[in-house]
Chains A and B, each alone.
Chain A
């Protein structure tokens, strides 16, 4: 049980970080981005180059990766998203698939199938419920919780942050109070990319190696976590991520030996279906229950 809890929270925290990025972009611009995860992988190559090849400290490598990731996110906003203002958000979402394919292609050109690894920021081990975990893994969980529950109040402190929160509710009205929507948009695309880079940097050492497409696989789960959390709620995104992590860990423990490939996605699909169908059915069931209660009264 302890093992399920620890493994579940560790991977759930990472899903939560990815999901936070999904929610930031969706709240700020109403677009579901499919490319952010892969920005995380590309940034890992930058980190690997700086840390492994150039021998620079981890912090420098991570900062380089972060700057690179934010740069790609903001550049995509400037070159593509901004030109699609007024277009259907679905079209912009399709454009992010284009970016995903572009980044993956460049990664394959650059690294091919070579497996690369980047070390984590904290390599000390702890035993939690009898499970060995690294400081990096604990950091991932703590960061997801802190951002999930603290980011919103942090945003409320500044006028611009308030503008980001309001933009999700009504983008035109935000422009009409004088908040530059283009800057809101650039900021959330940069922030979404940054969250993916952080998640990728924290998850990779626990897995050991990465290759093209690496972070996208985890980002897909983050996307599902964001949907489970309601797509606009930052705490909801992290809770969704942790829930998926825990269910996945439980499934691994009990069905891991069954040899099902892609168990992670099967689990995600089932949880997602249960949540979405439940959300549809719940009001109906409640209404039926209420009318019955009224009839009794």
Chain B
């Protein structure tokens, strides 16, 4: 088996006197979508920030394609093929759509400026609305359009690994479903993704492997098809209602594997 594109090895991290991550380990094979799920404060966002290089790891390692990037700044990681779709559609509101994309291609343009035009065209082909609104200030677009711009800004740099933080947050249900299709399309082109999502049903319908986190550690990792309601209920402390919804979402996935009908156990987790 080839080396996973991203390896998080026994990482601890935190802020000030607080340690949030206590030895997190996750492998993400190339071309797959990994989902990190957990309740508020479980450490999923901090895990993503540690991979991004925004929060430094105190111990452990982060490997990108086998190379130790633990001590690298975010900028260098981006130059090596990491892309970001940040939470809350963080476009640069006072720059135009095209300026946002140009900034997204910052390291691509430094590496090889001749590839920029084609990459910009590819983004415009994927999101025609961005081409129409190329001169508009990004902050004046609708939420769904800003979400498209965020995805386009990440893709234009031709990343190998994209970190997606809470994609469904703050979007209308229709816009969220559209975004899910876009992310699926992107994944189908071979881009590897790590996704953090509060909305379990939305997240599970998108990812290949699920990593469930509790109080700063990964308590369960498995292909999403192997997840059952009982596991979700045990580790995320959510009851059978959401579990049933999740089962329906799972069965609507392209993968025909039927979800196991586990008897949901409602157990309070600390």
Contacts and interface: CB of A to CB of B under 8 A. Distances in A.
Interface of A: 156, 159, 162-163, 165-166, 169-170, 172-181
B97 to A, nearest CB: 13
Given A163-B103, A166-B92, A179-B106, 12 more contacts: A159-B103, A162-B103, A166-B95, A170-B92, A175-B73, A175-B78, A177-B157, A178-B78, A178-B79, A179-B75, A180-B73, A180-B75
Nearest to B73: A175
B18 to A, nearest CB: 15
5 contacts: A163-B103, A166-B92, A177-B84, A178-B78, A179-B103
B74 interface: yes
Given A175-B74, A177-B78, A159 B109 contact: yes
B38 interface: no
B25 interface: no
Nearest to A179: B106
Contacts of B99: 156, 162
A159 B52 CA distance: 22
B90 interface: yes
A176 B107 CA distance: 11
A176 B84 contact: yes
Nearest to B93: A169
B245 interface: no
Provide the main secondary structure of the chain A interface: helix
Contacts of A177: 78, 84, 103-104, 106, 153, 157
B86 interface: yes
Provide the main secondary structure of the chain B interface: helix
Which 10 residue pairs across A and B have the least CB separation, nearest first? A178-B78, A178-B107, A176-B84, A175-B74, A166-B92, A178-B106, A173-B90, A180-B75, A169-B92, A177-B104
Contacts of A181: 75
A156 B94 CA distance: 11
Sorting the interface of chain B by its residue count into under 10, 10 to 19, 20 to 34 or 35 or more gives 20 to 34
B54 interface: yes
A181 B75 CA distance: 8
B76 to A, nearest CB: 8
A163 B75 CA distance: 12
B134 interface: no
B94 A176 contact: no
B54 A178 contact: no
A14 B102 CA distance: 35
B93 A176 contact: no
A162 B94 CA distance: 11
A173 B106 contact: no
Given A156-B99, A165-B95, A179-B106, A173 B86 contact: yes
Nearest to B52: A176
A162 B110 CA distance: 14
B104 to A, nearest CB: 5
A177 B104 CA distance: 5
A163 B93 contact: no
B75 A175 contact: yes
Interface string B97-116: 00100111011011000000
Contacts of B109: 159
A179 B95 CA distance: 15
Nearest to B92: A166
A265 B42 CA distance: 54
Contacts of B102: 159, 162
Contacts of A159: 102-103, 106, 109-110
B95 A175 contact: no
Nearest to B79: A178
Interface string B59-74: 0000000000000011
A169 B94 contact: yes
A181 B102 CA distance: 17
Contacts of A163: 103, 106
Contacts of B90: 170, 173
Contacts of A169: 92-95
Instruction: Kindly name the residue among B93, B99, B103 whose own CB sees the greatest number of chain A CB atoms within 10 A.
Output: B103
B74 to A, nearest CB: 4
A245 to B, nearest CB: 28
A162 B99 CA distance: 8
Contacts of A180: 73, 75
A163 B95 CA distance: 10
Contacts of B86: 173, 176
Interface string B163-204: 000000000000000000000000000000000000000000
Nearest to A170: B90
B153 A175 contact: no
A2 to B, nearest CB: 38
Contacts of B110: 159
